[in-house]
Chains A and B, each alone.
Chain A
Amino acid sequence: MASAQTLQDELQVVAFTVAGGEFAVNILEVQEINRLPSITRVPRTPSYMEGVINLRGNVIPVVDLHKRLGLPSGENTDKTRVVIVNVHDIKVGMIVDEVLEVLRLSQHNIEPPPSTGGQNPEFLEGVGKMGNRLLMLVNLEQLLGIANSVN
């Protein structure tokens, strides 16, 4: 059994790529990862709101992370996935290019997000270092607009 020390120190994250960049979310916020199902467009929503999908009888909104992060959109490929996250009991799907792996990040390898640069600095919670790799830790509340919806 992992000691309390390790539990506090370590963060398990799901790493994925969007338009070549590596991102990660806390594994506790990830419900499941699915292949891209057919998506129904919802009129009168922001462009990053890709639409809704049928997840075993539940209707779940899906956000295109390319559009949300202001990155160039790519083609959907065999590796394209929908990461279903559950934040404050709100379920949302995120379209990503590829899901890489589940990683353990220790807290001291996580740095606050760079204060300059980036269009939407509030979307990032921090930057995780794994050797040469840099993982952008996503702030789901901000990214998915859940913060406003909760308040």
Chain B
Amino acid sequence: MDLSQYLDIFLVEAREHLQNLSQGLLQLEQAPDNRKIVDEIFRSAHTLKGMAATMGFDRIAELTHDMENLLSALKGGHLRVNSAIIDLLFNCVDALEEMVDAVEKGDQRQNDISGLVGRLKQAGEGGTQSSTEPVVVPEPEAAAGMKIVLDNYDQAVLEEAWAQQFRVYHLVVAISPVCLMKAVRAFMVFKSLEDMGEVIKSFPSAQDIEEEKFDASFELIVISKCEQDIIAGAMEKISEVSMVSLTGLEPSITEVAAAKAAEEVVPKPPATDLAEASVEPAPKVDPDQADGPIQIQKARSHQTVRVDLERLDNVMNLVGELVINKTRLAQISSAHGIAELHETLEQVDRITTDLQAVVMKIRMVPVENVFNRFPRMVRDLAREMGKEINLIIEGKETELDRTVIDEIGDPLVHLIRNSVDHGVEDPALRQKAGKPRVASIKLAARQEGNHVVIEVSDDGRGIDLEGVKAKAREKGFYRDREAGTMDDKTLLDFIFQPGFSTAKKVTDLSGRGVGLDVVRTKIESLSGLIELETKPGEGTRFIIRLPLTLAIIQALLISVGSETYAIPLSSVDETTSITPEDIKQVQNQDVVLLRGIVLPLVRLREELEVPDPVQITQDLDVVVVRRGEKQVGLVVDSLIGQQEVVIKSVGRLLTGIPGIAGATILGNGQVSMILDVGTLF
């Protein structure tokens, strides 16, 4: 069988599971006694194993298999979670990531994992040997006919049940062969049992039963306070169901069989996995367990579809075309005065507007996708540097356009590294300064109007302004006579200059003198802004402001001669009207006084070499735009109005023209250029 067509899916899903593993391990580190987290990790490892085995990536399967063994020892409580185990598992995740990367690159060589496998085995054995807990197994005769295999975890649940005076039953339920809807009957069995107690486990899995993947009968393990005959009676009331057997299980004392059963569960033969391919691992029917993650996973597999971004772009293009043609129809309708057509077009108008909004919405992705990798990164960095850091993430559900999400990762990595390295002090230093030993770094996202704000803040030492000043002097960023006039903002701005770094020593993390300038360039290329606030001794805060999407912007349409241009509204401060007499000359530069401020004027007609003859008008329309801290007035012929425009690429041949950010297609089908105020003049 040719599996290459599944490779993409494998890669995407494998990454998802690796992410889950990472996250789970981080949580486990915080709460080592939480069995649910272990279960979650186990499930991811198990699925990954199945997928890898199906695809023939034996090393990945082997490593996950051994991870599973260790994890099941943790699950069974034979082994306590400690930092050595967490580290070992993290190492495994790293190795898996490398292997998955290698798979993506088509690298046939697979990493040597024997070291890790050995360590996993060792760690796992350490646990098994120490396990002397008495384990319990069903009565011999029941076990003989029983298809359900109980693992260590189930055993623990059963023990708990017996301890609390519950009864445990093993049921074999048969459904009449003529029954048309077996799943419905099975559901009624579950429902009725859950009124009386809890279904702990089933064979086949609950999901399979739900999907009618069973023959005539299925088996259940139930905990209940009810007597045997009450349960039997309840079962018999359900039509088309016949009880085959109902056996009470007692906490008898046959450890050997239990140990054997446990062994059988954990390393499930890959053969069954192969058949299931990437199907979720059969979830155990345990109401306690079924609350969160299982349901989420299920919902995900049923309700989402992965779509190539290019296809979405195509849809977007088509919607744009539709809007343009709709406008044309509207023009025809008004030219011919057809009322009926006009009404219909209004309907079409509403639908296309909705359609456009929906397509935009589809492109939005929660920032979670980027934020997810940071807990692990901060943990590792903090360890490496001997610092204690708590990373707080807020607003990870905030949505951003896919294209922005893809680009924002690297700048954030940089800022967070920066905070860990430069911002946060050593624990001892913090204590001396009267701060909590554990530093916190906060990564927060929120939506503000048409923008998303992402903040990276720490409660570290803040930025040493004098240090910045000295460094800037040394690098020749300013002249001595300017020193007196510089405010803090100007000083902080130096940090974003290429070649600036205040770190005294070069560490592995940052301080190589490349950095914040790259971050700023990147953010600005995304039409975003980055600001910085700092208080000595209290911390530093980087504030990134990004447009919700790069595909559609609010723009001010203006005309010069017969040409129409769009100016992104984000760089427009205001518009105003002046008369030619208002224009003054300062050093050969046309300026105008706007509320007492000298505003330099730029004539767009000249800047853009518009060929049409100058129109003599009484009033001049001026668009006041902002570039960084400076304001400039753009003289235009007339203002057309504010409009949402879809940004189109102008192709490789025309990129990099100063002053041109891109193009858009207006309602009349005409292409109009979008001005880039940053490079216009």
Contacts and interface: CB of A to CB of B under 8 A. Distances in A.
Contact of B671 (A40, A49, A149): A40
Contact of A58 (B563, B648, B670, B673): B648
A57 B669 CA distance: 9
Interface in B466-517: none
A59 to B, nearest CB: 4
B649 A59 contact: yes
A90 interface: yes
A112 interface: no
Given A44-B608, A57-B317, A61-B654, A52 B660 contact: no
Contacts of B324: 54, 57
Interface of B: 317-318, 320-321, 324, 563, 607-611, 648-654, 657-660, 663, 665, 669-673
B654 A91 contact: no
Given A61-B654, A146-B653, A44 B673 contact: no
Given A44-B660, A57-B318, A59-B663, A144 B608 contact: no
Contacts of B673: 40, 42-43, 52
B344 to A, nearest CB: 23
A45 B663 CA distance: 14
Contacts, number: 78
Which of the listed residues B318, B609, B665 has the most CB atoms from chain A within 10 Å of its own CB?
A: B665
Contact of B670 (A40, A42, A43, A90): A40
Interface string A55-75: 011111100000000000000
25 contacts: A40-B663, A40-B673, A42-B657, A42-B660, A42-B673, A43-B609, A43-B610, A43-B657, A43-B660, A44-B660, A52-B650, A52-B671, A54-B665, A54-B670, A57-B317, A57-B318, A57-B324, A58-B317, A59-B650, A59-B671, A60-B651, A61-B650, A61-B651, A90-B651, A145-B653
A57 B665 CA distance: 7
A104 interface: no
A43 B653 contact: no
A45 B324 CA distance: 27
A59 B652 contact: no
Contact of A149 (B607, B649, B653, B660): B653
Interface residues of A, number: 25
Contacts of A144: 653
A92 B653 contact: yes
A54 B652 CA distance: 16
Nearest to B314: A57
B368 to A, nearest CB: 32
A35 interface: no
A79 interface: no
A95 interface: no
A74 B608 CA distance: 25
A5 interface: no
Contacts of B609: 43-44
B101 to A, nearest CB: 27
Contacts of B672: 40
A43 B659 contact: yes
A38 interface: yes
Nearest to B673: A42
A59 B659 contact: no
B367 to A, nearest CB: 29
A66 B239 CA distance: 87
Q: With a 10 A CB-CB cut-off, give which of A56, A145, A146 has the most chain B CB atoms.
A: A56
A53 interface: yes
A56 B649 contact: no
Nearest to B647: A59
A88 to B, nearest CB: 9
Interface in A1-57: 38, 40-45, 49, 51-54, 56-57
Nearest 8 pairs of A and B residues by beta carbon: A43-B608, A40-B671, A57-B317, A59-B648, A59-B663, A57-B321, A52-B671, A61-B653
Contacts of A52: 650, 654, 663, 671, 673
A56 B665 CA distance: 10
A91 B651 contact: yes
Nearest to B607: A43
Contacts of A90: 651-653
Contacts of B321: 56-57
B670 A38 contact: yes
Contacts of A40: 563, 663, 670-673
Contacts of A49: 654
Nearest to B655: A149
Contacts of B652: 90, 149
Contacts of A146: 653
A28 B670 CA distance: 29
A49 B657 CA distance: 12
Given A43-B657, A56-B321, 14 more contacts: A40-B563, A43-B607, A43-B660, A51-B671, A52-B650, A52-B663, A52-B671, A52-B673, A57-B317, A90-B653, A92-B653, A144-B653, A149-B652, A149-B653
A137 B491 CA distance: 60
Contacts of A53: 671
Residue from the set B653, B657, B673 with the largest chain A CB neighbour count within 10 Å = B653
Nearest to B561: A41
Interface in A114-151: 144-146, 149
Find the residue from A43, A45, A61 having the highest chain B CB count within 10 A.
A43
Contacts of A60: 651
Interface in A77-111: 90-92
Contacts of A54: 324, 665, 669-671
B654 A41 contact: no
B654 A42 contact: yes
B469 to A, nearest CB: 39
Contacts of B670: 38, 40, 54
A114 to B, nearest CB: 28
A54 to B, nearest CB: 5
B315 to A, nearest CB: 11
B523 to A, nearest CB: 26
A45 B656 CA distance: 10
A112 B505 CA distance: 63
Nearest to B322: A57
B604 to A, nearest CB: 9
Nearest to B604: A43
Nearest to B665: A54
A42 to B, nearest CB: 6
A90 B653 CA distance: 8
